[in-house]
Structure 1
Amino acid sequence: MVLAQLGGSISRALQQMSNATIIDEKVLNDCLNEITRALLQADVQFKLVRDMSTNIKKIVNLEDLAAGHNKRRIIQQINCWEFVSL
């Protein structure tokens, strides 16, 4: 039951980001906050969740992306294992 709720919460957070017209820092932070909340409610260790969030922000540096890049696509293509490896 907990795994289904976690999956649903993460899916909703990603769907909200996908529905956003413009992907900016606020949209990314909102998405990460929802995912963080869902993981903590599922009893994932705080340190792992914090590290994941920090690593995502390092990988997806929206300010450094050129104007022509599709930010939504770049965020969606990030492999979750990259978060842990940084």
Structure 2
Amino acid sequence: MTINIPEGYKVVNAGDLDIFAEYVVEGAQVLLFESKHTYEGGVIKVNIHEYYDQIEYTVEEYPYYRDVVNSASDFNKVVLILERK
């Protein structure tokens, strides 16, 4: 995702775009949501990786699944705040 920032403005809370949640079993990644941003030349670039290795989860695994899904939902709620420089 690419976000162009208007000239003369800065983003106050760009760090809110960085979210990470995962579930690893025996060294293997089962669930992942990761978003990272970079800022260069008035452009924010966001890379997002969302990964689900299974379609069914045990009751014990459900909290990990919920954390990853909620992280993806939290990303969709991010509102960037712009301020004049």
Instruction: Tell me the TM-score normalised to structure 1 length.
Output: 0.32
Query: Whose strand fraction is larger, Structure 1's or Structure 2's?
Result: 2
Instruction: Tell me the TM-score normalised to structure 2 length.
Output: 0.32
**Relative contact order, higher structure (CA 8 A, sep 6+):** 2
Query: Whose helix fraction is larger, Structure 1's or Structure 2's?
Result: 1
